[in-house]
């Protein structure tokens, strides 16, 4: 382990919710919950004001509404979150070439590798400057942990929340870790925590006192050795700038269980095509096709088939997914479906095309997929979602507070304005149109008007998961909720 606290861990504070509060003046200082708003939606992020009521990420949205009925409930705007994440990651890469993104809002930085710090004083200065730069560029706050290892830097950033900086001095690690819960350590989830608790182990000190042999007996060789080392504050893991994707997958959760077997098959084919589009966009192929089915009773089944070599052919993936579906009993209904590809490589094996039973087709156009989906009750552009950006020809920029019964309620305000006025319109009012997000921080002279504003259509809740770091962010918005990951 290092002799100086030159590993930095940044975790943005309540990222999705903070972005929404920054862009909507009327929500600042109020409870905000971001996530899927359907009957089976889950919380992606809750503001600190909402957490007072016990709302937290991955909680079912229905439960969150019971705990905080007066909070603002908004759909995620992933395009905006990604653009802000790119700004933050750019600041990190200015500090060091070794930046290891974990998600849209979280990353490790090796300050020593970039010459940004070599001792405790310079590390603290670098962390303080980073926090100031993030606030200046994005208007948001982030918490910084500094330590001699990745594990301790992450623990430090948790202690720094919200909007703080904590540095763990070398030599004090064991004293700091000792009284903490075993759940503080990476790899100790609810199941492992309960197993250790039943063995009388609650704190990190007790974990160290139990000894390596006992931990191996309780948890197995690999996990036991790793936890004992962490209990002694040993963590030699380097900051890795590039991490290979382990899998590419997409999944959808349905508001109403699907009972019709033909419809289930259609959904699986559609998911397979989406998965291949993501695979090709990443320049990858894979050998193992994975089907995930969550049934009406919440039981989750996973089936997989390994091919002779890697492929990115849509016909191969579709037909493999269909074969896997044949082995699954969907009687009673399906609430979630997913298709993934693992065993990734950056090449394809041409002879796999023969497995498709014919010449490999090109991927269907996006329009074809849209045409095969059920027709919405109203045109897509008139389905207003809470939190969506809009523009009115008379009243200017605003966001949707809610809609229903043929009406949509809009609050007209911008990131730099005072809390705005509220007006209600018909859902088909021709003067009201969807709009791009506005920058959270006023543009400086000469800046592109689109900078920091998302640069594309406002993201819907696409539940696809690509296991890349922040530049191609993985999803952790909740089980079955699909969204890009946000931590507290």
Active site amino acids? 106
d(CA 49, CA 33): 10
Structure tokens that stand for 408 in this block: 């949509």
Q: For the chain, report the end-to-end CA distance as a whole number of angstroms.
A: 27
Helical packing angle, 15-23 and 78-95, nearest 10°: 110
CA–CA dist 229, 219 (Å, integer): 14
Gap between the Cα atoms of 41 and 385, Å rounded: 14
Q: Please, what's the b/e burial string for 361-382 (b: 16 or more CB within 10 A of its CB; e: otherwise)?
A: eebeeeeeeeeeeeeeeeeeeb
Distance (Å, whole) CA 432 – CA 434 = 7
CB atoms within 10 A of CB 448: 10
CA atoms within 13 A on the CB side of 47: 21
DSSP code for 481 = T
3-state secondary structure of 154: helix
Q: How far apart are CA 62 and CA 146, in angstroms?
A: 38
């Amino acid at each position: 382990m290092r002799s100086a606290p030159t590993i930095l861990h940044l975790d943005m504070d309540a990222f999705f919710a903070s972005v929404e509060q920054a862009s909507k003046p009327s929500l600042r200082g109020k409870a905000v919950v971001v996530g899927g708003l359907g009957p089976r939606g889950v919380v992606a992020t809750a503001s600190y004001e909402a957490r007072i009521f016990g709302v937290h990420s991955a909680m079912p949205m229905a439960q969150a509404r019971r705990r905080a009925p007066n909070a603002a409930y908004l759909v995620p705007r992933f395009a905006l979150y990604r653009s802000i994440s790119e700004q933050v990651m750019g600041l990190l890469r200015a500090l060091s070439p070794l930046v290891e993104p974990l998600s849209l809002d979280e990353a490790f930085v090796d300050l020593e590798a970039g010459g940004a710090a070599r001792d405790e004083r310079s590390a603290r200065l670098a962390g303080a400057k980073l926090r100031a730069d993030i606030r200046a560029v994005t208007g948001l706050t982030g918490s910084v942990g500094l330590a001699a290892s990745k594990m301790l830097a992450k623990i430090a950033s948790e202690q720094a929340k919200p909007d703080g900086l904590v540095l763990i001095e070398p030599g004090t690690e064991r004293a700091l870790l000792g009284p903490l819960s075993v759940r503080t350590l990476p790899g100790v989830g609810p199941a492992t925590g309960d197993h250790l608790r039943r063995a009388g182990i609650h704190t990190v000190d007790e974990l160290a006192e139990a000894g390596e042999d006992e931990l191996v007996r309780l948890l197995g060789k690999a996990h036991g050795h790793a936890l004992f080392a962490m209990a002694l504050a040993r963590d030699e893991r380097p900051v890795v700038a590039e991490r290979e994707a382990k899998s590419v997958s997409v999944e959808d959760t349905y508001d109403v269980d699907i009972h019709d077997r033909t419809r289930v098959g259609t959904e699986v084919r559609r998911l397979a095509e989406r998965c291949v589009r993501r695979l090709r966009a990443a320049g990858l192929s894979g050998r193992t096709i994975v089907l995930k089915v969550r049934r009406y009773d919440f039981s989750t089944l996973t089936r997989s088939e390994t091919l002779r070599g890697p492929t990115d052919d849509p016909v191969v993936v579709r037909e493999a997914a269909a074969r896997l579906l044949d082995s699954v009993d969907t009687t009673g209904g399906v609430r979630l479906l997913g298709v993934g590809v693992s065993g990734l490589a950056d090449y394809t094996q041409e002879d796999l095309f023969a497995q498709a039973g014919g010449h490999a087709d090109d991927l269907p156009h996006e329009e074809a997929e849209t045409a095969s989906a059920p027709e919405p009750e109203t045109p897509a552009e008139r389905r207003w979602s809470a939190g969506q950006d809009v523009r009115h020809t008379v009243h200017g920029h605003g966001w949707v507070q809610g809609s229903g019964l043929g009406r949509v309620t809009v609050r007209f305000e911008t990131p730099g304005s005072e809390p705005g006025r509220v007006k209600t319109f018909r859902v088909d009012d021709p003067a009201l149109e969807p709009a791009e997000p506005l920058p959270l921080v006023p543009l400086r002279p000469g800046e592109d008007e689109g900078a920091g504003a998302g640069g594309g259509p406002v993201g819907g809740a696409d539940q696809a998961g690509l296991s890349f770091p922040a530049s191609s962010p993985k999803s952790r918005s909740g089980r079955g909720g699909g969204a890009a990951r946000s931590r507290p």
